[in-house]
Amino acid sequence: MKDGLRQSMAWVHTWSGLLVCWLLLLVFMGGTAAYYKHEITFWMKPELHKAADAPSRVTPTESATLAVRELQQRAPKANAWFLDLPHERNPLIYASWTNPPKKGMTREERRAAFRTQNFTLDPMTGEHTAAPRDTRGGEFLYRLHFDLYYMSAIWGRWIVGIAAMAMLVAIISGVITHKRIFKDFFTFRPKKGQRSWLDAHNATAVLALPFHLMITYTGLVTLMFMYMPAPTKALYGTEQNAMFADVFPNAERVKPAKQSAPLADIAPMLLQAERAWGVAPTRIVVSNPNDANARVALHRPSGQQLSNIEPSMTFDGASGALLSETAPMSTTLDARAAIYGLHVAHFADTLLRALFFVCGLAGTAMVATGALLWGVKERQKYAKVLAKGGRVGFGVRLVDALNIGAIAGLPIAFAAYFWANRLLPVEMASRTNAEANVFFIAWGVAALLAQIRPTRAMWRFQLTAGAVLLAGIPVLNAFTTDSHLGVTLFGGPALRAVAGFDIVVLLLGLLLGWAAWWLGRKAKKQAAAKTPAQAAQTTPLEAA
Amino acid sequence: MSTLILGSAALAFSGFAATSITMDRHYADIHGRGKEAPAAARLRLRTLGWLGLLLSFMACIGASGWHIGPVLWCGILSLAAWTVTLLLQYHPRRVMQAAWIGIPAALLTATLLLRP
């Protein structure tokens, strides 16, 4: 190691970061949004807002009984029923079911069928809500951040996993290479060009380091059976399902007895669980309903614990007898559940969820400033060439263009997704796919424009477009729904999620608008100092 | 509960502020170029700063328990550090004044934590 550890690590940090940073931006933005995936989904189904905005006068037990009665009529022979009961982050009763797959059905067809097998009940009246529009809502953004899109989930997970491993390398090498990590701990010096970008990169990275390390590492652990298959292969060969059954006995599925038996009343089971836990169950899964081997699993939120595994009680669906409770887990499994739980943060209350969201934004800013920093540094090598009116090299141009397409282009894609949700016709066929397509068309156009003209004007144009689209969402919402800010701010607690969504996108839009304005001011200052022709050729970052 | 979290946030801010105002760059920003903090003041403020952070941790544990508390603390530390960083840049003297919030916050937090 000729250069010494720190220099070598600087090299590792640069390249492990740069090669994956644009994908990481997508992952960070999608994952950050996913902390509010229920709220986003709710916002994206405005038909449900009215029903939710009434205080529930029905107890969880009554809700469940209502939904089960409905399921008995509509899907008595289903494989399984899934019920989500009203709780803090969910104002309505959601029910869905899976049917035994018919022969010759493709995976896509089964998924499409599943999307139609659900209904939503108003917990106040017990009646059906207005049919919500077909959308995947926040689930799309959540899946996007590890499955990607337009490819099989396995491919997506491998690609995201490799990016996450590179990210972990970048974090560790970044800490080693940061010579003044303590001396510069609180340092931010604006208006000093490269120095300012480095300070911003350090401040967003170092000051939220516990979060960045945690989220990257735990993200990898959530998919560890995929990324590290060797132990499973060695012990179980190709029988991966046998391993899952051994490791997660609670997830074991019972085969139907093919012998019909009426489902026992669900209300006593709910009461029993509520008495034991002190809180009502929020999720019910009935497998093999109306079969002698029916099982009713009641789940509750894990509460003041990190674990992602919701404590549950399983009842015999035919007799109504309690079969088992979540068995105490081994320390190893408990540790895994806590690590997994930290990533998905289901335990987080309002404040903690907001902190996770802010840290996620800081992670996005860390990746963005890192990507920009490479361009700023590399551009200096071309200072003389640029002064003579020459051009920067291919690498700098490519990175500049990718930076515009990801940093300014992705917010446009997110905003376009929400606009599509409100503007696409409600009765449109395969509407969920259309919404996702709008996301990628918007992103594709932004990325392509950036490749054609990676200039400061393009930065300003895309930042302004993102600002207008995001900040315009509350306005769009006011024109297309009855649950705009004027209503939601003064409505019941269930509408807080809708108001919160509008306010957060408005703030993010203002932030982008501020960035565009700031660039414009820089441009003017520079134009005053230099000849206009030269000013047009430099990018903003150099002058920042 | 939420009083403890507020106390924790104030203590984290104050702890970071006390630590930061004796650091060379920030001390010079506050007291004028070339000035350096006396060794005794440095030691005193640094100790107080660490005590503040420790008490801030205890407040989080008191508010949210040993499972969630440390996670909450990490989030609060990040927020507090960003606030101190920005304040040091734009209003460095304010950091010195605002650091005093740690004293009442410490008293309040200690009372709440020691309350039977």
pLDDT of residue A398: 95
A276 touches chain B (CB under 8 A): no
Identify the residue with better confidence: A44 or A523: A44
pLDDT of residue A539: 52
**Which range has the worst mean pLDDT, A165-169, A333-337, A402-406?**
A333-337
pLDDT of residue A544: 47
Q: Which among A183, A214, A304 has the least Cβ separation from residue B64?
A: A304
* Alpha-carbon gap: B2 to the closest alpha carbon of chain A (Å): 10
Cα A102 to Cα A109: distance, rounded to the nearest angstrom: 10
Identify the residue with better confidence: A360 or A532: A360
In degrees, rounded to 5, the angle at the alpha carbon of residue A287 between the alpha carbons of residues A281 and A293 is 120
**Which chain A residues are Cβ-neighbours of B65 within 8 angstroms?**
304
Q: Which among B65, B88, B89 has the least Cβ separation from residue A190?
A: B89
Nearest Cα neighbor of A342 from A308, A311, A383, A366 is A308
pLDDT in tens, A336-364: 889 999 999 988 989 999 999 999 999 99
pLDDT in tens, A24-64: 999 999 999 999 999 999 999 999 998 887 766 777 788 88
Question: Quick check: B23 and A355 CB within 8 A?
Answer: no
Question: Is residue A419 a contact partner of residue A471, using CB atoms and an 8 Å limit?
Answer: no
Residue A90 pairs in a beta bridge with A87
Residue A286 pairs in a beta bridge with A81, A296
Cα A420 to Cα A411: distance, rounded to the nearest angstrom: 14
Other residues' Cβ atoms within 10 Å of the Cβ of residue A247: 15
Nearest Cα neighbor of A132 from A36, A50, A34 is A50
User: If pLDDT is split at 50, 70 and 90, which confidence band does A376 have?
Assistant: very high
Cα A284 to Cα A71: distance, rounded to the nearest angstrom: 13
Token pair in block for residue A26: 């997508």
pLDDT in tens, A108-140: 777 777 778 888 888 777 788 888 898 999 999
Cα A426 to Cα A256: distance, rounded to the nearest angstrom: 38
Residue A2 has pLDDT above 80, yes or no: no
The H-or-E segment that residue A298 falls in is strand A295-299
pLDDT of residue A498: 94
Q: How distant, in Å, are the alpha carbons of A90, A349, B41, B95 from that of B103? A: 41, 28, 17, 14
Best mutation target among A35, A184, A186 (most B Cβ atoms within 10 Å) is A186
Question: Quick check: B89 and A188 CB within 8 A?
Answer: yes
Token pair in block for residue A391: 């051009």
Cα A54 to Cα A356: distance, rounded to the nearest angstrom: 29
Question: Quick check: B75 and A359 CB within 8 A?
Answer: yes
- Tell me what the mean pLDDT of segment A161-189 comes to: 94
pLDDT of residue A204: 97
B2 to chain A: nearest residue by CA?
Answer: A351
User: If pLDDT is split at 50, 70 and 90, which confidence band does A249 have?
Assistant: low
Q: How distant, in Å, are the alpha carbons of A338, B30, B85, B88, B97 from that of B91? A: 41, 9, 10, 6, 10
User: If pLDDT is split at 50, 70 and 90, which confidence band does A331 have?
Assistant: confident
A430 touches chain B (CB under 8 A): no
Residues whose CB falls within 8 Å of the CB of residue A218, separated by 6 or more in sequence, listed in order? A339, A340, A342, A343
Sign of CA dihedral A401, A404, A407, A409: negative
Nearest Cα neighbor of A126 from A42, A72, A57, A74 is A57
Task: Supply φ then ψ for residue A445, to 5 degrees.
Answer: -60, -45
Cα A38 to Cα A353: distance, rounded to the nearest angstrom: 12
- Tell me what the mean pLDDT of segment A71-97 comes to: 89
Best mutation target among B2, B36, B42, B71 (most A Cβ atoms within 10 Å) is B71
The H-or-E segment that residue A386 falls in is helix A383-387
Nearest Cα neighbor of B89 from A494, A464, A184 is A184
Other residues' Cβ atoms within 10 Å of the Cβ of residue B64: 23
| Centroid of chain to Cα B75 | 14
Token pair in block for residue A457: 């004007």
pLDDT of residue A144: 97
User: If pLDDT is split at 50, 70 and 90, which confidence band does A505 have?
Assistant: very high
Q: What is the mean pLDDT of chain B?
A: 93
pLDDT of residue A535: 44
* Alpha-carbon gap: A303 to the closest alpha carbon of chain B (Å): 10
B67 to chain A: nearest residue by CA?
Answer: A305
Nearest Cα neighbor of A503 from A481, A488, A482, A518 is A488
A362 touches chain B (CB under 8 A): yes
- The listed range with the strongest mean pLDDT (A117-121, A173-177, A256-260, A520-524) is A173-177
Q: What is the mean pLDDT of chain A?
A: 89
Packing angle, helices A138-147 and A21-34, rounded to 10: 150
pLDDT of residue A87: 81
Identify the residue with better confidence: B116 or A136: A136
Identify the residue with better confidence: B110 or A111: B110
pLDDT in tens, B43-79: 999 999 999 999 999 999 999 999 999 999 999 999 9
Residue A517 has pLDDT above 90, yes or no: yes
Identify the residue with better confidence: A251 or A331: A331
Question: Quick check: A351 and B5 CB within 8 A?
Answer: yes
Kindly report the length of chain A: 544
| Centroid of chain to Cα A356 | 12
* Alpha-carbon gap: B19 to the closest alpha carbon of chain A (Å): 10
Question: Quick check: B78 and A362 CB within 8 A?
Answer: yes
3-state DSSP assignment of residue A119: strand
Residues whose CB falls within 8 Å of the CB of residue A429, separated by 6 or more in sequence, listed in order? none
Token pair in block for residue A366: 């860390």
DSSP assignment letter at A311 = P
**Which chain A residues are Cβ-neighbours of B85 within 8 angstroms?**
186-188, 203, 207
Query: Could you report the predicted ipTM of this complex, rounded to two decimals?
Result: 0.95
Percent of chain A topping pLDDT 90: 57
User: If pLDDT is split at 50, 70 and 90, which confidence band does A237 have?
Assistant: confident
Residue A230 has pLDDT above 90, yes or no: no
* Alpha-carbon gap: B40 to the closest alpha carbon of chain A (Å): 19
pLDDT of residue A541: 56
